[in-house]
Amino acid sequence: MMSTESIPFKKTGYFSSLICDYLEEKPVLKTFYNKFPNLENFKNQIEQKHLSFNLKSRCILVEQLKKQYKYVEVSENTWQNIEFLKHENTFTITTGHQLNLFTGPLYFLYKIISTINLTKELKQHYPNYNFVPVYWMATEDHDFDEINYFNFKGKKVHWHRDAKGAVGKLTTKGLEAVFNLFSLDLGSSKNAEHLKTLFKNAYLKHENLADATRFLTNELFKDYGLVIIDANNKDLKKQFIPFMKEELVGQTSYKSVSKTNEALSENNDIQVNPRDINLFYIQENLRERIVFEEGVYNVLDTNISWTKEQILEEVDNHPERFSPNVIMRPLYQEVILPNLCYIGGGGELAYWFQLKQFFDEVKVPFPMVLLRNSVLIQSENQLKKLQKLNISIEDIFLNKDSFINKRVREISNIEIDFSEQKTYLIQQFQDLYKIAEQTDKSFLGAVKAQEVKQLKGLENLEKRLLKAQKIALADEVSRMTELKNELFPNGSLQERYHNFAEFYLEYGEQLIPQLIENLKPLKSEFLIATL
């Protein structure tokens, strides 16, 4: 069984001030989102989405989902959810992610579990509605280097190949060699054999990366009714034609997002910058930006070009050849899904905040945006070590140097903190300043220089004493450092580094059900889970 503790996101030190301000609902951010994600606010979001999403769009969505699931073993829960989408009382909660090899970092699981659990909570609160968890596969992405590996037991499991165009269309050729190397590291336990079967059935029995990822994700989450969508689809994109035309001709997203960025950048870093045109052109082995130059539309690094009339005709005839970038994709999602809320990481929420005015301009309801759950998984043995060393939750989240320095000060039998001496010294110099003022003001500079010198001397003595104590307490420092590195590999959050396979190998079939049971998406705290 899993036991849990939690810590506010702000206290972890791993989340930006923008995200922390959002979680605290600070007024300065109110104009950058629609409604804050709490249970009561979903009522208005449901009403708003209901008025904007028609039955025809539902029918198209269901028809295409059924086609995409044609060769997939669909659970009763997932099939029921797809059928529910026909009805006007059904809405989606969506998360999206790249097609990372074997799911990539561990937080892939947390995104989807947050999404599943929010639909459950909403159903309890609003029993007259149905809520469907959706995983949006980023099949149109083209940055292969971001997805062609995962970390396992300190090694990088890498898929080496040349890749062009949308990653969803990439063949799985070459993954047999990856599987063979991965298998050697897995070992031969029951859990290892299950992981081997999962990898083999996903990547060696499917022809492209989109189909492989759909199979893998469905295998992990089908019992919970997850619906997986590949939006790189002609019939779905037909509904987006008016927005793509507006983008090509009116450049609405550039104008709106640029205005928002001006306001948002006063206190925050900007996550993405809009292009004049935020659409790509895709064909086999091709996904390149569309640019407008001297009255002509061109596809970068190709000979493809159109006049205004020709490109609008191309959109009408082949909408599947146009691909939204990071600015346009959220709009596309909200046009084709009866969606209420998008769940993502801090970086994703940051660029959603840039889009509110754009959504208002094109008259599409802006969804709620919710920070996904974050989890630190520790073993019972690691918990016992933390307790034995008297290390608190707050301490373990400190960066490595701060963590070691703080702990050495706490466990040392010598007082290493010279704050009292520094305060006393400053008080002494205040008296010297008064004497200088009354006698010779030119003496003030000399007094100041001496104060700085002596304070610096105290700081150096403090550092030397701290260093000496680290050596004296080397065994304990070593144990603390080892534990810190285990839980925060490379000084990063565990969930951004490790792959789920490392934990499945240890905990097996209980891993996902235990996370499902314990993750609370609306709680907005970082979970520390002991398994």
User: Both 370 and 386 in a single domain?
Assistant: no
Split at pLDDT 50, 70, 90, the class of 519 is very high
**Does residue 350 form part of some domain?**
yes
280 secondary structure, DSSP code: E
pLDDT of residue 346: 97
Scan for tokens 């054999």, then name that residue. 193
Q: How many Å separate Cα 286 from the centre of its chain?
A: 27
Q: Are strands 130-137 and 227-230 parallel, antiparallel or unpaired?
A: parallel
**Does residue 321 form part of some domain?**
no
Split at pLDDT 50, 70, 90, the class of 458 is low
Residues β-bridged to residue 133: 93
**Does residue 264 form part of some domain?**
no
**Cβ-based neighbour number of residue 138 at 10 Å:** 23
pLDDT of residue 15 exceeding 90: yes
User: Both 180 and 208 in a single domain?
Assistant: yes
pLDDT of residue 444: 79
pLDDT of residue 468: 62
Return the HEC string of 292-316. EECCEEEECCCCCEECHHHHHHHHH
The letter for the amino acid at 205 is K
Return the HEC string of 374-435. CEEEECHHHHHHHHHCCCCHHHHCCCHHHHHHHHHHHHCCCCCCCHHHHHHHHHHHHHHHHH
pLDDT of residue 409: 75
pLDDT digits (tens, 9 = 90+) for 275-295: 999 999 999 999 999 999 999
Q: Report the percent of the chain where pLDDT is more than 70.
A: 95
Split at pLDDT 50, 70, 90, the class of 485 is very high
pLDDT digits (tens, 9 = 90+) for 47-68: 999 999 999 999 999 999 999 9
Helix (H, G, I), strand (E, B) or coil at 209: helix
Split at pLDDT 50, 70, 90, the class of 309 is very high
**Does residue 283 form part of some domain?**
no
Q: Using CA atoms, how far apart are residues 497 and 152, in angstroms rounded to an integer?
A: 9
**Does residue 408 form part of some domain?**
yes
User: Both 188 and 116 in a single domain?
Assistant: yes
User: Both 131 and 201 in a single domain?
Assistant: yes
Q: Which whole number is the average pLDDT over 308-319?
A: 98
Split at pLDDT 50, 70, 90, the class of 461 is low
Measured over the CA atoms of residue 114, residue 118, residue 120 and residue 124, the dihedral's sign is positive
Edge-to-edge strands of the sheet including 322-324? 305-306, 296-299, 286-293, 279-283, 322-324
Number of domains comprising the chain: 2
516 CB-near residues (< 8 Å, 6+ apart): 113, 116, 117, 224
User: Both 361 and 461 in a single domain?
Assistant: no
pLDDT of residue 139 exceeding 70: yes
User: Both 357 and 404 in a single domain?
Assistant: no
pLDDT of residue 272 exceeding 70: yes
**Does residue 197 form part of some domain?**
yes
Q: Which whole number is the average pLDDT over 163-184?
A: 96
User: Both 33 and 172 in a single domain?
Assistant: yes
pLDDT of residue 380 exceeding 60: yes
**Does residue 243 form part of some domain?**
no
Q: Where in 125-235 does DSSP place strands (E)?
A: 130-137, 149-152, 155-158, 227-230
Q: Which whole number is the average pLDDT over 481-505?
A: 96
pLDDT of residue 250: 96
pLDDT of residue 429: 78
Tell which phi-psi region holds residue 225, choosing left (phi > 0), alpha (psi between -120 and 50) or beta: left
Q: Report the percent of the chain where pLDDT is more than 90.
A: 83
User: Both 405 and 342 in a single domain?
Assistant: no
pLDDT of residue 412: 66
pLDDT digits (tens, 9 = 90+) for 358-373: 999 999 999 999 999 9
pLDDT of residue 289: 97
pLDDT of residue 352: 98
pLDDT digits (tens, 9 = 90+) for 171-180: 999 999 999 9
Q: Flag the least confident range among 35-44, 185-194, 294-303, 462-471.
A: 462-471
pLDDT of residue 79 exceeding 60: yes
Report the predicted TM-score, pTM, of the whole model to 2 decimal places: 0.90
User: Both 343 and 470 in a single domain?
Assistant: no
Helix (H, G, I), strand (E, B) or coil at 265: coil
Residues β-bridged to residue 343: 95, 370
User: Both 72 and 147 in a single domain?
Assistant: yes
pLDDT digits (tens, 9 = 90+) for 398-455: 998 888 778 777 766 556 566 677 687 678 778 777 877 777 777 777 878 887 787 7
User: Both 57 and 192 in a single domain?
Assistant: yes
pLDDT of residue 513: 97
pLDDT of residue 472: 57
User: Both 403 and 514 in a single domain?
Assistant: no
Mean model confidence pLDDT for the chain: 93
pLDDT digits (tens, 9 = 90+) for 197-248: 999 999 999 999 999 999 999 999 999 999 999 999 999 999 999 999 999 9
pLDDT of residue 262 exceeding 70: yes
Angle between helices 474-487 and 400-411 (to 10 degrees): 140
Which residues span the domain enclosing 37? 3-238+328-374+510-530
**Does residue 263 form part of some domain?**
no
